[in-house]
């Protein structure tokens, strides 16, 4: 589609953005009466104003609970995907980011939502990926926050890989292995399993959503690719 250039790619050496207008208080922990009220009407007016001033972007925080205290700082928030879609429909040049938590947004659902918002925006959508840090939010979602920073970012990379694959490939998708599900076409899955082997692992487990339905697909499509890479030997004929 021939859409206008994303303002984030303009020639300004210093890009300017507005952070956290979707959260009560914004980024100011204060009790003053005029602290930011993140109502939709206020956010809409701010976005149109910033767009008119040539500001490059708006960036929200994906907050699911406040911090308590007298004002419950950031206790009132607008969800970022829908917030982003609405503001992009109201503006003409500014880039508007949404913020996605990899553990709270399924990558296939996120890919669909983001592609829809991208059409609304005519190419002005931005994505801020968060890999997790707020233990109370994980608890309220019924999820465990991995202790390892590297594990959280490894999962985040796989999350983003799945989204990019959804956007760029028409191939069938299959589930995968180990701690983080592999999703992708057979070439991608075989390459990821080869990467596991190169990392020093002699074996790995494989899991599926529906084992009886998906194992034949894996055996017929992925295993031959592993054989071609020298990672598997053909199964002898019975």
Look at the pTM and tell me if it is higher than 0.85. no
pLDDT at residue number 4: 57
Distance between CA atoms of residues 17 and 50, nearest Å = 9
The Cα 80–Cα 89 span in angstroms is 14
All structural domains of the chain with their residue ranges: 7-168, 171-232
- The per-residue DSSP string of the chain comes to --PPPPGGGSS-SS--EEE-TTBTTTT-----TT-----HHHHHHHHHHHHHTT--EEE----SS---TTTTTT-SB--HHHHHHHHHHH-SS-EEEEEEETTTS-HHHHHHHHHHHHHHHTS-EEEEEE----HHHHHHTT----S-HHHHHHHHHHHHHHHHHHHH--S--B--BSSS---B-HHHHHHHHHHHHHTT-S---B--SSHHHHHHHIIIIIHHHHHHTTSSPPPPP-
Per the prediction, the chain carries an average pLDDT of 81
CATH (one of 3.20.20.30, 3.40.50.720, 3.30.70.330, 3.30.1330.10) for 7-168? 3.20.20.30
Q: Looking at the DSSP assignment, which residues form a beta bridge with residue 130?
A: 101
Name the one residue in this structure whose structure tokens are 């997790």. 132
142: left (phi over 0), alpha (psi -120 to 50) or beta: left
pLDDT in tens, 61-118: 888 776 777 877 777 789 999 999 999 999 999 999 999 988 888 888 999 999 999 9
What mean pLDDT is predicted for residues 4-15?
79
């Amino acid at each position: 589609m021939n859409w206008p250039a994303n303002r984030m790619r303009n020639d300004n050496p210093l890009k300017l953005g507005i952070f956290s207008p979707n959260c009560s208080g914004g980024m100011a922990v204060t009790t003053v009466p005029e602290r930011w009220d993140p109502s939709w009407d206020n956010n809409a007016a701010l976005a149109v104003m910033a767009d008119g001033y040539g500001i490059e972007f708006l960036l929200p925080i994906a907050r699911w609970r406040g911090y308590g205290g007298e004002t419950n700082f950031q206790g009132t928030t607008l969800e970022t995907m829908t917030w982003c879609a609405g503001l992009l429909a109201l503006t003409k040049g500014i880039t508007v980011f949404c913020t996605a938590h990899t553990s709270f947004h399924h990558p296939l659902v996120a890919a669909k939502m983001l592609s829809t918002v991208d059409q609304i925006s005519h190419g002005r959508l931005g994505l801020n990926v968060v890999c997790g840090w707020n233990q109370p939010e994980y608890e309220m979602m019924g999820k465990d926050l991995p202790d390892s920073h590297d594990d959280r970012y490894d999962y985040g990379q796989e999350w983003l890989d799945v989204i990019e694959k959804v956007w760029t490939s028409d191939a069938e998708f299959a589930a995968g292995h180990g701690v983080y599900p592999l999703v992708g076409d057979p070439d991608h899955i075989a390459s990821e399993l080869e990467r596991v082997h190169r990392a020093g692992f002699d074996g790995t487990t494989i899991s599926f959503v529906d084992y009886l339905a998906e194992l034949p697909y894996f055996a017929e499509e992925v295993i031959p690719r592993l054989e071609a890479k020298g990672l598997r030997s053909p199964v002898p004929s019975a």
